[in-house]
Structures are given as C-alpha cells and as structure tokens.
Structure 1
Amino acid sequence: MPLPLRPSILALACFSALSVHAAPTDLNTRIDTLVKQDEGQMIELFKQLHRNPELAFQEKETAALVAKALQAQGFEVKTAIGTTGVVGILRNGPGPVVMYRADMDALPIKEATGLPYQSSKVTPWLGNPSQAVMHACGHDAHTTWLIEVAKVMSQLKDQWSGTLVLVAQPAEEILEGATAMVNNGLYDFAPKPDVLLAAHVSPVYPADSVGLREGPRLAGTDQIDVELPGIGGHGSTPHVTKDPVVMGAMAVMGYQTIISRMVDQSKPAVLTVGAFQAGVNNNIIPVSATLKLNLRWYDAQVRERMIEGIKSVTRGVLVMNDMPADYQAKYTMKGYATPVFNGKAQTELAQAALVQQLGADKVLPGMPPLMGSEDFHMLASPYPDTKVLFLEVGSGKPDVYKNLVEKKQLPAAMNHTPGFVVELPAITTGARAVTATLSAFFNKPL
C-alpha cells in the first residue's frame, strides 16, 4: 500500500528552509532556537510517518520523502542503495567526514496505542496479504530527526567544517539493511567516515533526556532459520510418518540447554525461537517445519558455540526420530551484526556536547550493556578504524527513569510491543542531541 503523502505534508517534510537572520553567536543557543522553531512541523511529520509505516526493504515512500528533504537542503543525494536506502552528502570545506544514520523500517505488529495518529496500515508480508504494520521501535522519530538535522546543519555551515553524510537506512529490524547498503555501492558514492553516529529512542529515559555510556552497549546478533525435514502423511497414521512438528518441539526444548549447559555462564548470551512454522491443517502431518532463531552475544567464541550447539541438537533430534541419513536439516543465516561498543574519546566528546545542549541533569548514565542489537555500525564494516557512537534518546514519560532506578520497574510498553509510544518531547530532544553531537565531532575531530 503506497504511503499517502499529501502535498502539505511533503512541504512539512522538506521543511522549506527559512534562515534565521538574527543568529545567536553561541552554537548551542542557535541549535536550540532552530530546532524549537520547527517543533510543530516536526511533530506533524512524525505523526504522518507513524500513520504510514513501511516494513523492511519496502520503505519506498519514506525514502522518497527523505530524498526530497535532503535535496531541498543542498545535499548531494543518491537513492536505492541497498534497495531503498538513501544517502545525502553535504560538503562544507576541509575537515572530518561524519556519518549519521537513521533507520526507516517498521514492524509487523498491530498497533494498540489508541493514539489519534495510530497506524491502521496492512501490507503483504511473508505470505500474509494483510499483515498489520506499526512503528513500534521509534524509527519514525529517527527519520524525523534526520530530516531536521539536515536542515539545521545546513543552516549552521558557518559553525563547522568537513563533510556530513546522512544515511536513511532500510531493514534495521531484520538486521540486514546496513550490510545491504555496503554491498550495494554505498562507498562508491559516499566517502569513508571518520565517525559514525546513530541515535535510538529508549522508553527507559524521559523524553527530554538522553542516555550515554562508554564501553559495550549492544549485543552481536544472528538470525537463523532451521528447516527440519519430515515425512508427511495422514494424521491417523503417524507411525508411518516422520513428524517434523514433534521434532521441532524437541529441538526447541533442546536448544534451551545450549545456554544453560554449553555456554560459559559468566558470558552473556540469549537464544530465542521467535517462530515455529509447520503445517496447514489439523489432520495432515507436514513434510517440514521451520524454526526461526535469534542469537545475542558479546563474545565471538560464544557465538560459535551457540551455532555449533544448534547444529548438534538438531542432528540429535533427527537421529532420535530415525530420519534417513539423506534427510538433513537446512540452515539459513540471515541478519547478522557484531556488538556495539562506544569508545572512550567519542563518548567523552559527546557527553560534553550534550551537557551543554540539554543540561547536565538531562544527560543520564546509560544502562549496563544490553542484549538488544543494532546494525548501524555495519555501515563502517569496511573501515575498522571508524569511530562509532550509539546514543539513546529518551522517549518515555517523566517518571520512567526514577521508577527504574528506585523500583526496578520497566515501562509497561517497551519496544516491539503493540502499545509502544514515543512521547512527543523526544522529537525535539533527539534533533537537538544529534545536531549538537555532530557539531562537536566536526569542531573537535577525534
């Protein structure tokens, strides 16, 4: 279903640049002024994006909107990188190359927030012709930030020198978009980045704050499909079949021992079976079953042990069920990303810039290392010396952080749930935080 962008909304998306002639001399004041004067337009754009989410590699209308907005601000723009990715380059004299990525894709979830701008969109997805779609991870906010950052940084060209590269990335939710862009010619167009920044909404911080922490931030991840073979037949005669549903159930339970019995307990690891797909009818034993697995890890040896364990358990299940030797499981490796680490130098530089922009009380200590994952840093996979920074922008209500610290209580609706909400103050907070951080990377190169 195409995203119905009305001309008035497109105008808002492009934020027809209105220069501020009475520019304050203080950079932080200028950033604050420029972003806040666009607050109404930004919120309208955010709501429009929220009402019209697009799934991984389907973000055609969102990408078109971003491309138009970047072109309006004088960026060199290339589209369709990695299917639907967009890259904009603003060259502003000598200096570092700083890349900022925002992800665009939504999730196959039916929204239940009750918001007046709630998504009611459905689209074909994995065999379902009417899959409900929702921005349940804040990528609508991220895309809004990208468009505002393009405008503000173009208006602040007298305050920085270097090359700004903005990336609107597809398919983060399936952890394939960044690698797809690299493999599809990102660096035929864009220069090598010295610094790569991404910002993500976080419901555990109030929407007027950010969280930042040095060191390990997000786990590495793999998405693996395991297809188990079977020999189908009638439900009344299971003894003449080899039931892949039963084998799949055995495998799911066997996989649980990988973490508890095969992985070093001092090292964090998660193995989740997110989907079990088999059969179509009550009385037909199917010929195969597919298990969709998700792995999380920080240590590459732990990753290898989990993958070995999955194959070992699967082989054992087939042997236990007396499957013929020529019936073998099939493994499909899909989305992959390494862990995310915030280096000391870039974290300290960003910390100082954020304190100046938002205030010391609005820059909160980041959570301990999380088992969530990201793939933005895979944009820099060809260049291991690129500095990487992951910033968490609060999207929750005012009391969420206090409740977490004092009561160990998480918000009721976290990311990837039908009730997930980005509180609206996060829209300006994120734009201010990203712009201030980018400016710092230009003005004090690492």
Structure 2
Amino acid sequence: MTLTQKLLPLAISVLLSAAPLMAADAPVAKEAIAAALISKVNSAVDADTARLTHIFKDLHQHPELAFTETRTAGIVSKELKALGFSVTEGIGKTGVVGVLKNGEGPTVWFRADMDSNAVRETTGLPYAAKAKQKQADGSEIDVMHACGHDAHVTWMLGLAKTMAALKSDWSGTLVVYAQPAEEVGLGAQAMVDDKLWERGFPKPDFAFGTHTAPGPVGVISSSPGVRMAGVDQLDITFNGLGGHGSTPQMTIDPVVMASQAVLAYQTIVSRNLDPQAAAVLSVGSIVTGRDNNVIPETSVLKLNLRWFTPEVRTQMLKRIDEINKGVAIAAGVSAEKMPTRVMKGNSGPLINDKLLVSRINPSLEALMGKGKVIDHFPAVMGSEDFQEAFKPLNTPYVFMLVGVAPPALFQEAQLMGRPFPYSNHNPDFFVDLAAIPIGAKVNSVAVLSIMAKQNTSKNTVN
C-alpha cells in the first residue's frame, strides 16, 4: 500500500462528513474530457513547473498587503501580455484582467487573489518572507503569504500558459484576473465598483477559483452547495472621558466598557441564536490608550462575524448594537457620545453551483485519480469574497480547494490527534512545492471541462 493510499482514509475522515460522496439529489455526472487532452495538460504543466516554481518563490518572498499589490500585479500583467492576453491593469486599484479570445464558445473567468497577511513568517524556508512592509503612517509591519495567495497567482499563471499552448484544443474566451484585498473582504467589490462589468469585458458564462488547504498534496475538494460562511468586518468605538489613572471617578473609562462588551458579545452565539444556527463572533483587536497612568478617551474593538443566513447576520448586528448601548448607558455616557459601529468588508456565503460541479468533477477525477476528488465536503466558517464579483450577473461558479501539505506531515498530525499539520494565517503555514504543478493542472482541467472543443456546444450546464 502506498503512502497516499494509507493517508487517503485519514484525509477523508477529517475532510469529509459521513455522507456519501455524491448527494442523492445531485445531478448525473458529465463525461470527462478526453484522456489525450488531460495528457497534454500534464505535459504542458510539467514542462512549465520550473518557471512556475520560480514565480511562486519570488511571490512568496515579496508579499504585499491589501490594495498594495503593485509588484504582484506587475508580474501578472507582464506574464499575461507575453502569452498574448489583452491586459487591463489598475481595476479596483491593483486588479489585473487578462482576456484571451479563441473563437466561438463559452466565456470562462478564473480568479486568483494577490494580497498577503500581517504575519511574521516562521517557516524557516530559504525563500521565506523577511522584509517588513511600510505603512502609510510610516510604521513597519511583518508580512507573509500565510494563506497561499502566492500559490493562487502562480496556479492562475500556469493555467494561462497551458491554455495558450493548447489553443487548438478549446474554443471560447478565457478571462483570468488577479484580485486585490481578499483578506479584508473588499477586493472583489472594489473591482465591481470600479466598473468591472462596464468596461466591455466578455461577460462570464461560468467562473472558477482555487484556494490552498492544509490537506495532503494530491487530494482536492470540488463540492456542491454552501462551502464557506458569510463574513463581516466591523469596528466598534466606545467614547469615554479620559483622565488620570489615579482619579478614575473623574473619568468614564472606555477600556472597561470595551472589556464588558467583549464578554457580553460571547452571549450572542451562546444565548441569543438558535443553537443549530452556526455563527462565530470574534474580537480580533482592542485598540486603546498608550500610557500606564492615563485613562484614554476611546477604545476601538475590531470584530469579525461569520454566518450562513442573512437572518443570523441581522440578529448578531442587532444584539451587538444593543449590548454597546447598554454598556455605555450603564457607564454614564451621554446620548451624543453613544458607541459607533463602522461596517468594513462584507461577503455573503460562497455557494458552489451543483450542476457545474457535476460537469467538471469527472475530468478532475480523471486527472487526480479515483477517490482523490472530494465532492462532499462540509461547509467551513472560513470566508471568501470571490463570489461577490459575480453576484450582479448571477454567474454559476465553482471554488475548489487544493491540498498543499506534505502527506507525511499530514499523517503525523493525524496520529497526534490534530486535524491538520498547520492552518491558514499561521506563521508556520507553507505550500509544499509539489502542489505547484497540481494547482495549475486542476485549474486547466476545470476550465477545459467547459471549453474543450468536444464541449463548447454546451453553453449551459444541463
């Protein structure tokens, strides 16, 4: 028994629910694209792997935070232009869109996000990110690709080159685009607000995206239905009355109010929501004060909400407002200085199109091997803004997950009772280099499942 065969049951036990691989109400699967075409994809990507690995390492060493991805965008633009794509830059500040027209047929859009995280890397990789990024206020912070967006960009560029090389095998229009600011949930909407759909680009019939997952290399997920939760980023400001730490009776302490609110927020999920309604409320940051002996004027709480239904989202926001007001009133805050709420990034749940999943999965399984494509994966509380770009057009889409952890590390974690060897957004997150060609192949085969000449007469999924 191979290592992969030993690991697969472990992977499935973690990555899957106990339900059958294909839900009872799922559509009948389509046929896979020709084996000869899959062989061409394998050959094209294998020949390109050295270039892709070089690009990936370079991107990993030079992470850029939301809306500052100018270097990354420049690389994407240069590579796409060299492949014959018509390229438009600067959409939503740093977004890049490349269009490759190849006759009649469906139009497919494929997205990669570019931004990194404010995390100090501890992987010890020879190509680890080490430089700090300077902020607008002059401060410097650590940055790293702790969520795999460097791989996403690399995989997209691999797709672009493969499709350019195989133009005789497909027909239609391929649009690949690099999106800024996914981590703050603002990038997709920024591109839409910057007239993405009013610039004359071909409108999508279908859309795809891929994301790294700390499952074992060689296993992917392409699953129908709800995949990820909706998300809100919001800031709450408590306004107090500052003063000397030795005379608290002369102040209204915003630090105390913020602390009371943080604890009270925990009752929203545990006591206000239906116990069967999944939701998460996290306070990621408290920004207040500076000196030990000074009670500050304000305290800011940075909240993150996760939810699957708009009803739950509405109830959470309502209770947050009620708790804030109650805490402030109890502290003696005047009506004109009540707490304020500022909504920042927002995305709805990500919901993969069932029919489109059934269309591409046979080809993905032909590529990866039987049992390596997980098509019944439980929804997670992680979130995305990929889908927000396509809401105005009601475009059917599929968002896939690609395993990037070394199988041996995954097995070791399983034996220790841990679901994964590491997780996204952690300083030890990394993408095994063996996953670089795999992601490019997955992207290419998913797109060819729609655009291969044997399939281009099917402009709708049926």
Same fold at TM > 0.5: yes
8 Å contact kept, 1:141–1:427: yes
Matched, 1:436 2:441: no
TM-score (norm 2): 0.88
**Structure 2 counterpart of 1:229, which letter?**
N
After superposition, the C-alpha distances for 1:159-202 in whole angstroms (9 at most, x for unaligned) are 11111111100000001000000100211232221111110010
The residue number in structure 2 matching 1:415 is: 424
**Structure 1 counterpart of 2:432, which letter?**
E
The residue number in structure 2 matching 1:99 is: 109
Q: Which runs of structure 2 are paired with 1:31-70 in the superposition (5 Å)?
A: 31-70=41-80
Q: CA RMSD in A?
A: 1.7
Q: Which runs of structure 2 are paired with 1:41-440 in the superposition (5 Å)?
A: 41-125=51-135, 127=137, 129-189=139-199, 190-203=201-214, 205-384=215-394, 386-399=395-408, 409-440=418-449
After superposition, the C-alpha distances for 1:140-164 in whole angstroms (9 at most, x for unaligned) are 0011111111111111111111111
**Structure 1 counterpart of 2:143, which letter?**
V
Residues in 2 aligned to 1:32 and 1:407: alpha-carbon distance in whole angstroms: 35
8 Å contact kept, 2:412–2:421: no
**Structure 2 counterpart of 1:213, which letter?**
S
Shift in Å at residue 367 of structure 1? 3.2
Q: How many residues are treated as equivalent by the alignment?
A: 421
The residue number in structure 2 matching 1:6 is: none
**Structure 1 counterpart of 2:203, which letter?**
K
Residues in 1 aligned to 2:434 and 2:198: alpha-carbon distance in whole angstroms: 37
Shift in Å at residue 220 of structure 1? 0.4
Shift in Å at residue 128 of structure 1? 6.6
8 Å contact kept, 2:410–2:420: no
Residues in 1 aligned to 2:440 and 2:57: alpha-carbon distance in whole angstroms: 16
Residues in 1 aligned to 2:137 and 2:301: alpha-carbon distance in whole angstroms: 16
8 Å contact kept, 2:413–2:421: no
My pick for the range that moved more, 118-127 or 84-93, is 118-127
User: SS of 1:118's equivalent?
Assistant: coil
Shift in Å at residue 361 of structure 1? 3.4
Residues in 2 aligned to 1:383 and 1:266: alpha-carbon distance in whole angstroms: 32
Shift in Å at residue 378 of structure 1? 0.7
8 Å contact kept, 2:414–2:420: no
Percentage identity across paired residues of the two chains:
42
After superposition, the C-alpha distances for 1:293-319 in whole angstroms (9 at most, x for unaligned) are 000000110000000011011001001
User: SS of 2:90's equivalent?
Assistant: strand
8 Å contact kept, 1:209–1:429: no
Residues in 1 aligned to 2:367 and 2:38: alpha-carbon distance in whole angstroms: 6
The gaps in structure 1 that reach 5 residues or longer are 1-23
Residues in 1 aligned to 2:258 and 2:341: alpha-carbon distance in whole angstroms: 14
**Structure 1 counterpart of 2:434, which letter?**
P
Residues in 2 aligned to 1:278 and 1:248: alpha-carbon distance in whole angstroms: 9
**Structure 1 counterpart of 2:418, which letter?**
Q
